[in-house]
Structure 1
């Protein structure tokens, strides 16, 4: 297995830090991964190397406002609105398509919410390349343990319309992130996990979450490659950051025929970073879901009769 680091220039001139985990032999699938809030692509420890060891190449990047894509303090959390977030994802996916092997899109937490939005709202000419969508503890709603008060949300949105680039620190409780003390320490000490968002970026996150939780954003049964929606969601039922029950409700209401929801009993927010061997079950589940759908025949959209 080898890793590669690079910089991806987006259309507006912004450069995003990227990293790729390549397989030792011929790859069986490609995975584009979108990280979460106050996170970056180098915090995923054994997850990406494990996928690569199983034949899955991982392509990921530090989102605008996060990780090494931040070049100066004023850029911290400056993600832009949801349109900009989705455009950055599109720009990055374009670097790996057309893919000679099946391509999958996955997101964790905030990134999971973004991937759900992308499955519903992303450009059809890009989504047709995506074999399946995977979500790890997607941000469909806040867990009660982390939910801000309605007053705080209202005030933040109001001020955000006037001063979109004002930064606000929203400290994640590392004790809710994982039960592994070493992971808690890692997240606490990592200066790239800066817990800072702009009011515009935070408002966009809240809007996406609200639209997902309310059902305003819906994913049909033709979101991906071959006119088929394939979707997998994994969520710990003791997650104190994102809402397990909201994610399950969203899943239950999906019209997709190929869908799977996996409950991880007693697990917290970073399923790939739970203690000891418990994370291995999650990583194996992700790899097996991808590899199973990498060998299945692709269903092709029925041709429309010519008028």
Structure 2
């Protein structure tokens, strides 16, 4: 397996840190991955190497405001509004298309919410290259264990319009992220997981969840390659960060023949970082779903929805 690091410059001149996990032999598929809140692409431990070992190249980047894409403290959490977030995803996707092998787009947590919005509203000329979408614990709504009060949300959105670049620390409880003590320790000690958002960025994230949970984001049959939507959503029913039930309800509203909502009983938020062998089951499921759709699309378009 070869690992490559680099930088991608988006349209406004901002440089984003990138990392790629390539296969040893010819790749069967390519996956672009979008990370979550207070996260970066180097926290995914064995997940990306496992996919690469199974023939799936992984292309990812630290989103604006996160990880190594932050070059000074004032940039922490400075993601910009949703339009900027989705434009950054488009800009990165342009670096891997046209793709000689099937291309998939996946997001975790906040990144999962972004990918759902992208499947619904991303540029058609980009989405036509995407064979399928995968969501891991997508941020459709807060888990009851983490949900802020209505007053906090209301005044947060209001303040975001007045002081968009004001930074606010919103620390995640590592004990809700995973049952794996080693990963909990990893997050506690990682300075790049800074838990800092701007009011503008946090307001955008709240607006996205409101639209996703409220049914205003509509994903139909024509969201991907060949005018077909192929989508797989995975969620642990003990997730204390994002809302399992809201995620399942959203899956039920998606109008696609090839869709699946998969429940991981007893799993927490980072399915790929749960204690082994539970994490291995999830990683194998991701690879199997991708590889099953990395053949002639005609053979998979008739797949039955599984909910």
| TM-score, L = length of structure 1 | 0.97
After superposing on structure 2, the runs of 4+ consecutive aligned residues of structure 1 that deviate more than 2 Å are 296-299
Q: Which residue is 1:192 aligned to?
A: 192
1:1-307 to structure 2, matched below 5 A, reads: 1-298=1-298
Q: Deviations over 1:235-259 (max 9, x none)?
A: 0000000000000000011111100
Q: Which residue is 1:305 aligned to?
A: none
Cα drift, residue 155 of structure 1: 1.1
Q: Which residue is 2:305 aligned to?
A: none
Q: Give SS of 2:297's match.
A: coil
Separation in 1, partners of 2:69, 2:227:
34
Q: Give SS of 1:45's match.
A: coil
Question: Is the CA contact (8 Å cut-off) linking 1:225 and 1:298 kept in structure 2?
Answer: no
Q: Give SS of 1:281's match.
A: helix
Cα drift, residue 13 of structure 1: 0.3
Cα drift, residue 297 of structure 1: 2.8
Cα drift, residue 298 of structure 1: 4.5
Q: Deviations over 1:18-59 (max 9, x none)?
A: 000000000000000000000000000000000000000000
Cα drift, residue 296 of structure 1: 3.2
Question: Is the CA contact (8 Å cut-off) linking 1:226 and 1:298 kept in structure 2?
Answer: no
Question: Is the CA contact (8 Å cut-off) linking 1:33 and 1:107 kept in structure 2?
Answer: yes
Cα drift, residue 134 of structure 1: 0.1
Separation in 1, partners of 2:7, 2:275:
33
Aligned length: 301
Separation in 1, partners of 2:107, 2:184:
20
Q: Give SS of 1:95's match.
A: coil
The alignment's C-alpha RMSD in Å is 1.2
Question: Is the CA contact (8 Å cut-off) linking 1:36 and 1:109 kept in structure 2?
Answer: yes
Question: Is the CA contact (8 Å cut-off) linking 1:230 and 1:258 kept in structure 2?
Answer: yes
Q: Deviations over 1:238-294 (max 9, x none)?
A: 000000000000001111110011100000000000002110000000000000000
Q: Deviations over 1:191-224 (max 9, x none)?
A: 0000000000000000000000000011011100
Separation in 2, partners of 1:69, 1:148:
28
Structure 1, unaligned runs of 5 or more = 302-307
